A and B are shown apart, each in its own frame.
Chain A
C-alpha cells in the first residue's frame, strides 16, 4: 500500500469517523441528560421538538449559531476569543489516541506513551477557562475562572497519581497494552479499587461537574467563567466540557474496566479472540467499549441529579488533604504487595483484589440500614 495512505490518510479518516461519532454522542448525551434530569425531578424534560424531543439535538446547535454574539465593551478581545477555542483542540485531539476497539483498526494513532499524552492534552483545558474568565472583565467571570483553575489544578494531582498504580501493574503507557494486561489478569478496578475511586472523583472534579461544579455555581457566581459568553462561544465551552467528560469516561474504561475486552485471566473475549473473529469481532469490541463508557456517562448524570454542591474550602480539603495522601498510600501499598508477591511467589493482584473487596465489604457494612434511634430529648422538639 502507498505509505502516505497507510500512515497519514487512513488514520486521519479513522480519526474523523471517530470524531463525528463522538460529537453525535456528545449532542445526544445533552438530550439524555436533560431528559433524565427531568424524570428524576418528576417532570418531562425537552419533549416538544420531534419525537420524544429527539430533534432537540439538532435544534440546539442551530439556535446557538443564530444567536447574537456579544463581545463586552471592556473585554480583552484576543483572550476573549481564545477562551472557548483553546480547550476544544486538545479535547478533540485526544480521540486520535483512544483505542475504541481491538488495536489495528479502531485506533487512529497508536502511540506508546498514550497515557502521558492524553493526560497532557486533557490538562490544557484549564487554560481556556481561566483565559475566558479573566478576559471577560467581569467580576463573576474572574472568580469563576480562578476557582476553576484552582480546582482543576488541585484534582490534576490525584488524577495523575491514581494512574500510577495501574501503570505499576501493567508496566506500560500504551493504552492497548494496559487493556491486554487486564484481559490476561483481572480488571484493574479490583486490585486498584482505591485508585479507581480516586480517579472517578478526580475526573468529576476535572470536568467541573456536580458535586464539584463550583466554577459555575449559579447561586453565587451567576454563570461563572462563561457569564459573558453567548451564542457559539458558549456552545464551544459546553462542547469542550462534554467532550472532556467522554474522554475521561473512555480513560476510566481503558484503565480500570478492561476497555473493549470482556475477559478474566486470559479467558473470554480477549483482544486476540476479537481479532480472530474479524470485522464482527471488532464491532463487538466497540460495542462492549461503548456500553462501559455510557455506564459512566449515566453515573455522571445520576451524580448531577442527586448530589448537592460542595463548599469551596470543602472541595479543596477533599482534594489536598484526602485524595493526595490516599493516592500516595495506594501507590505504596500496591508496590509493597506486588514486590512481596515477586519475592514470595504469590499473585499480587489477587491479594490486592481481596483487600479491595474487604474495603467495599466494610463500607457496605457501615452503610447497612439500621433502626433509627430517636433520642428522647429530640422527640419533644419535633
Chain B
C-alpha cells in the first residue's frame, strides 16, 4: 500500500511540472507581450479605478461561514470511521453517534437562531 502513495507523490511532481513548464517556459516563447499603463490597470468597466480592492473591507459573514464549515467538516471526518465500522458496532455505536450528532445539532440551531445562516 505504501508504494501506492509513492506513486501519488511522483505523479504530483509530474502534474506540477506541466502547468509550470507551460506558463513559464513555453508560453513566454510564443505569446505576444505589449504591456502599457492602461492595460495593466484593474478592470472597472472601462472607467479609471476609483480604489483598489485591498482598500476595502468585506462582510464578516464570510468568516463566520468559514468557522462553521470547519466545525461541520471535522464532524464529517469524525463520521467516516464510524460509518465504516457501523455494521459491526451495531446499536451501541449508533447511540454514541446519535449523542454526538445531538450535541452538534444544538450548536447548529444556535447558529441558526443567531442568524449566522441568514444573509440579507
A residues lining the B interface (CB < 8 Å) = 7-8, 11-12, 15-16, 19, 65-74, 81, 84-85, 88-89, 92-93, 96-97, 108-112, 115-116, 134, 136-143, 146, 149-150, 153-154, 156-157, 160-161, 164-165, 167-168, 171-173, 222, 227-228, 231-233, 236, 312-313, 316-317, 320-321, 324, 328, 331-332, 335-336, 338-339, 342-343
> Is the beta-carbon distance between A108 and B7 smaller than 8 angstroms?
yes
CB-CB nearest in chain B for A10 = B7
**Which of B3, B43, B84, B87 lies in contact with A342, CB distance below 8 A?**
B87
The smallest beta-carbon distance between A211 and chain B, in angstroms, is: 17
> Is the beta-carbon distance between A321 and B117 smaller than 8 angstroms?
yes
Instruction: Find chain B residues with CB under 8 A from A161 CB.
Output: 76, 79
Give Cα A88 to B21, complex, Å. Answer: 13
* Given known contacts A85-B20, A110-B4, A172-B84, A66 and B31 CB-to-CB distance under 8 angstroms: yes
Query: B72 interface residue, CB < 8 Å from A?
Result: yes
Interface size on B, residues (CB 8 A): 72
Q: Interface digits, B14-32 against A, CB 8 Å rule (1 contact, 0 not)?
A: 1110111011001110111
Give Cα A320 to B105, complex, Å. Answer: 12
CB-CB nearest in chain B for A161 = B76
> Is the beta-carbon distance between A342 and B73 smaller than 8 angstroms?
no
> Is the beta-carbon distance between A146 and B62 smaller than 8 angstroms?
yes
Instruction: Find chain A residues with CB under 8 A from B35 CB.
Output: 68, 70
> Is the beta-carbon distance between B56 and A171 smaller than 8 angstroms?
no
* Given known contacts A137-B42, A171-B86, A153 and B7 CB-to-CB distance under 8 angstroms: no
Interface residues of B in 97-120 (CB under 8 A from A): 97-98, 101, 105, 108, 112, 117-120
B residues lining the A interface (CB < 8 Å) = 1, 3-8, 10-12, 14-16, 18-20, 22-23, 26-28, 30-35, 37, 39-45, 49, 51-54, 56, 58, 61-62, 65-66, 68-69, 72-73, 76-77, 79-80, 83-87, 90-91, 94, 97-98, 101, 105, 108, 112, 117-120
> Is the beta-carbon distance between A84 and B76 smaller than 8 angstroms?
no
- Where chain B touches its partner, the secondary structure class is helix
> Is the beta-carbon distance between B117 and A316 smaller than 8 angstroms?
yes
> Is the beta-carbon distance between A93 and B12 smaller than 8 angstroms?
yes
> Is the beta-carbon distance between B66 and A149 smaller than 8 angstroms?
yes
- Could you name 15 residue pairs across A and B whose Cβ atoms are closer than 8 Å? A11-B4, A73-B37, A108-B7, A109-B5, A109-B7, A109-B8, A139-B53, A139-B56, A164-B83, A167-B86, A231-B27, A236-B23, A332-B98, A335-B97, A342-B87
Instruction: Find chain B residues with CB under 8 A from A338 CB.
Output: 86-87
The smallest beta-carbon distance between B103 and chain A, in angstroms, is: 13
**Which of B26, B72, B84, B105 lies in contact with A157, CB distance below 8 A?**
B72
